[in-house]
Amino acid sequence: MPFKGAKADVFSLGVLLFSLAFGSAPFNWANKSEDKLFSFLVNKPKDFFRLHPSTKIGYRAGSVNFDLQDLLLNMLSSN
């Protein structure tokens, strides 16, 4: 499989943006069999912000901006 640098760059920027916005990394390993948070991101992206330890309180309070969620979910997409 050929390396897709632009997609890797967008993914990396998504990780950085999430870290800046919420003060922690979105996951520890970008491997759905080894990281529960990454598995949520891949398999149930709509539940990711509701379940992530750094965003769940803000999500429930309605303070996690929907446009930011949408942007991050697209940037962190495994596709």
What pTM was computed for the model? 0.89
pLDDT level of residue 5 (50, 70, 90 thresholds): confident
Maximum Cα–Cα distance across the chain: 42
Residue 1 reports pLDDT greater than 80 = no
CA distance 66 to 69: 5
Spatial CA neighbour of 54 closest among 67, 32, 42, 72: 72
Q: What would the pLDDT profile of 11-64 be if each residue is shown by its tens digit?
A: 999 999 999 999 999 999 999 899 999 999 999 999 999 999 999 999 999 999
pLDDT level of residue 6 (50, 70, 90 thresholds): confident
Provide the token pair at 48: 């990711």
